[in-house]
Amino acid sequence: MARRQIQVSIDRLRGHRDTPTPRAQKLPSDDRACPKCSSHYRSEEMRRNLNVCPACGHHFAVGGRERLQQLSDDGVYDELWTELRAADPLRFVDLQPYPKRVEAAEAKGASEALVCADARIGGRPCVIAVMDFAFLGGSMGSVVGEKFARACERAAERRVPFITVTASGGARMQEGVLALMQMAKTIVGFEALADAGVPSIVVLAHPTTGGVWASFSSIGDVTYAEPGALIAFSGPRVIEQTTREKLPDDFGMAERQLENGHVDAVVDRRQLAGRLARLMGILELPEAPPGSLALQLAQNGTERAARVAQALPHLSRRLRDRISRGDHPGGEGGRP
């Protein structure tokens, strides 16, 4: 398939690309300290290593657009639906009004907790939807649900794989029951993919919890997880509070969830784009739409019909000869 240059100005997007993660923001300088091995790195150095600690492999958080850039060929992608923004249907106030929280999150550069784009990975076109934990904890409200569903529908229509990278604390509390309903909306999105026979590839980044784990992210066709990512419906603290259980340190971690049967592979971020490209190569539908092969072979339809009704041939004495010739009764299809 010929590599097509995507025609899109990413100047504006690049401006947002380096949205630092909340953890990094707490550091006074441009430095980052690895919470696992305590090594210090410059942000730029870290970014070149895809926000993975070069010393110990710890996976830091990645912003939505940064992730898109990491995965897309030449860092080029075409972001979709940036015009969709949060509303305040409940007029919700907890420690502060919901609109204030949204304003503060938007001021950091991202427009919402889900960033969608057309992109190519390894030359293969796809639609990607990436959650941004920096935007209100990656929480899933109406905008996330709407964008997610649109992204699925777009992939289904174009018959290109749908890839999503999650990082979320769950439903966005401040949108109340409407946020809960977005879980259902993501299922609707996946139904569009199912109808079209288009694959869904889920990449679980740290953390993937609550309503996001209890909706689309647990039912992808193929599910990768980043090392050390927490993957759970109820987080360890909630469980410990509820049941007084003492949980192991690696509870709900990607590596455990692989053993538990909920993940297909734990994939290092530095291999992720390559793995996705390879996987899309495997999953790519044959150039010809289904049925054309059938048409091509329809000429032997009568022969086939005859074979269907055909009884077991009385060929036992010739069987051994034919086996040795690789020429079995029933022809290419074997016995009917």
Partner 1 sequence: MKPSGIGGRFRRITHRLGGAPDGDAGDIWKAIQLARHAERPYPLDYIQRLMPDFEELHGDRLRGDDHAIVAGIGRYHGQPVVVIGQQKGRDAEERVFRNFAMSGPGGYRKAMRVMALADKLGAPVITLIDTPGAFAGAEAEINGQGGAIATSMQTMMRLNVPTIAVVIGEGSSGGALALGIADRVVMLENSTYSVISPEGAAAILWRDAAKAQLAATAFKPTAANCYRWGVADAVVPEPEGGAHTDHDAAARLLDGYLSRTLRTLEAIPPGERRLQRRERFRRIGAHRELPTGGTAIVVGVDDGQSGRS
| Pairwise CA distance, residues 182 & 145, whole Å | 5
**Closer to partner 1 at the Cβ: 37 or 297?**
297
Piece of 16-24, 52-60, 65-73, 205-213 that binds partner 1 (CB under 8 A):
205-213
- Report in angstroms how near the CB of residue 36 gets to partner 1 at its nearest: 23
Piece of 22-30, 31-39, 121-129, 236-244 that binds partner 1 (CB under 8 A):
236-244
What residues between 114 and 153 interact with partner 1 by CB under 8 A? Answer: 141-143, 145-146, 149
At residue 121, φ and ψ (nearest 5 deg) are -125, 120
211 binds partner 1 (CB under 8 A): yes
Q: What is the CA radius of gyration of the chain?
A: 25
**Residue 116, CB-side half-sphere exposure with 13 Å CA sphere:** 20
What residues between 147 and 186 interact with partner 1 by CB under 8 A? Answer: 149, 171, 173, 175-185
Binds partner 1 by CB under 8 A, chosen from 74, 159, 265, 274: 265
Q: How would you write 186-212 as a 3-class SS string?
A: HHHHHHHHHHHCCCEEEEEEEEEEHHH
- Residue 120 pairs with which residues in a beta bridge? 125
Piece of 33-41, 68-76, 121-129, 246-254 that binds partner 1 (CB under 8 A):
246-254
Nearest to 205 by CA among 188, 220, 217: 217
- Report in angstroms how near the CB of residue 59 gets to Zn ion at its nearest: 10
- Report in angstroms how near the CB of residue 59 gets to partner 1 at its nearest: 20
222 binds partner 1 (CB under 8 A): yes
Binds partner 1 by CB under 8 A, chosen from 215, 226, 254, 267: 215
27 binds partner 1 (CB under 8 A): no
- Report in angstroms how near the CB of residue 226 gets to partner 1 at its nearest: 16
**Closer to partner 1 at the Cβ: 28 or 286?**
286
332 binds partner 1 (CB under 8 A): yes
Helix (H) or strand (E) holding 48: helix 43-48
| SS3 at position 33 | strand
CB 112 within 8 A of CB 143: yes
**β-pair type (114-121, 77-80):** antiparallel
| Pairwise CA distance, residues 194 & 188, whole Å | 10
Residues within the interface to Zn ion (CB under 5 A): 34, 36-37, 39, 53, 55-56, 58
| Pairwise CA distance, residues 225 & 229, whole Å | 7
